[in-house]
Amino acid sequence: MTSITETTIEDSQPRVDSHSALAKVLHWGFIAVFIFALYKQIDEVEELEDFALLQFEMAYASFFLILLLARFFYMRKTRPTVLPDDTPRMMKNLAKAVHLGMYASLALIAMTGLTIGSLYWSGTKSGALLDAIILLHEIAYWTSMNLIAAHIIAAIYHRQKGDGIWDSMVPLWKENESK
């Protein structure tokens, strides 16, 4: 009898182990938290005049950052990668850079958001410092969006390749269903 790590889709590539249920919940749950943050984002910093909105934004950014850090440390401790050992070093390094870049840019979004809120709350409602933090916030946002796009493209690549990487994290639309 063949174990799941020895099973192959095309009998040419070994399958990888799946991420844990908690890793999948953290992954997909964080996506929901991020999408909600995008949905609730403010358009202009002046909207923070509404103290209830300012409090919500500060609390949500704090929650976002704590959840992101929890996810980062859990994934680093339990399974930093599911890429097979024979994956070229350059590909492993690129995957690691994209993942670390996503964590860094997402954390920077929350941290700059908290800084913007703190400045606004303390009475700094304009000026070079606030403008610089807002610019950094926007750069972090666009960086994260591009890295997320790269991550999705890589996931689709692995689904097409049929090496088990897709199935290790995605609970639906399994690789062998498309063959």
For the chain, the domains span: 21-78+90-178
pLDDT over 60 (residue 4): no
CA dist list (Å): 120 to 47, 133, 158, 159? 10, 11, 44, 45
pLDDT at 82: 77
Render pLDDT for 30-86 as a digit per residue (tens, 0 to 9). 999 999 999 999 999 999 999 999 999 999 999 999 999 999 998 888 876 778 778
Q: How confident is the model at residue 160 (pLDDT cuts 50, 70, 90)?
A: confident
**What single-letter DSSP state applies at residue 124?**
-
Give the predicted TM-score (pTM) of the model. 0.82
Integer Cα distance of 155 and 149 in angstroms: 10
135 compared with 165, residue with greater pLDDT: 135
- 16 neighbors 168 (Cβ within 8 angstroms): yes
Integer Cα distance of 29 and 37 in angstroms: 12
pLDDT at 23: 83
- 14 neighbors 79 (Cβ within 8 angstroms): no
Render pLDDT for 80-135 as a digit per residue (tens, 0 to 9). 677 877 888 999 999 999 999 999 999 999 999 999 999 999 999 999 999 999 99
Residue 167: name the closest of 54, 8, 2 by CA: 8
